[in-house]
Amino acid sequence: MAIEAHATARYVRTSAQKAGLVMDLIRGRDVNRALATLQFTRKGVGHDIAKLLRSAIANAQQKDGFGGDVDRLFVSACYANQGPSMKRIRPAPMGRAFRVVKRTAHLTVRVAERPLKIAEVGESVSPKRGGAKAGGAKAKPGAEAKTAPKAASRKGAAPKKTAAKSSAKKK
């Protein structure tokens, strides 16, 4: 059974849309690769998500049945839900007022452990490459023969027309 753990940060002072853009970068990746991606992301919310991912890794390590290998953990799900918005008033020209909406988000990162792949003794593994692709990926031999004469006839016909036009212009 694969170990699964999650961490949630609530009321993070960013919009859910901006956080979702960064979370799309790490979804499905190994945790070490996800942390490296977040470290070099040019978004401010990347630091909050990296902190959240480290917390989810620590939560997975504390669970019973964890294998002890952090390299087997990957980001199974991550999402940003919209939190409450703070409404503020900003003065505007001519006695008016503009409303400023300061958004918050609830960030969740879920990590899971990849299962070990154990091959049975005596089981032969066929290579992924080298086999013919299904669905008629190979070209039919008759198709090449049909297209070749057309190309040759076009090439032969084109210079005659241009030569005839050029000789007519000279007269």
The answer to whether 31 and 75 are in contact (CB under 8 A) is yes
CA 126 to each of CA 123, 130, 131, 166, 169: distance values in angstroms, whole numbers, following the listed order:
10, 10, 9, 63, 68
How far is residue 36's CA from residue 86's CA, in Å, rounded to a whole number? 33
Element (H, E) at 94: none
pLDDT bucket at 86, cuts 50 / 70 / 90: very high
More confident call, 120 vs 61: 61
Q: What's CA 53's distance to the chain center, in Å?
A: 18
pLDDT on residue 135: 55
Q: What is the DSSP letter of 42?
A: S
Q: Which tens digit of pLDDT belongs to each residue from 138-161?
A: 555 555 555 555 555 555 555 555
> What's the pLDDT at 158?
54
Q: How far separated are the first and last CA of the chain, in Å rounded?
A: 90
pLDDT of residue 166: 56
Distance CA 130, CA 128 (A): 7
Look at 10-19, 62-71, 149-158 and tell me which has the smallest mean pLDDT. Answer: 149-158
Main-chain dihedrals φ then ψ at residue 2, nearest 5 degrees: -80, 140
Is the pLDDT confidence value at 96 over 70? yes
Residue range 4-113 forms a domain whose CATH class is alpha beta
Q: List the structure tokens of 54.
A: 């480290």
Average pLDDT value over all residues in the chain: 83
- Cα 71 to the chain's mean position, in Å? 20
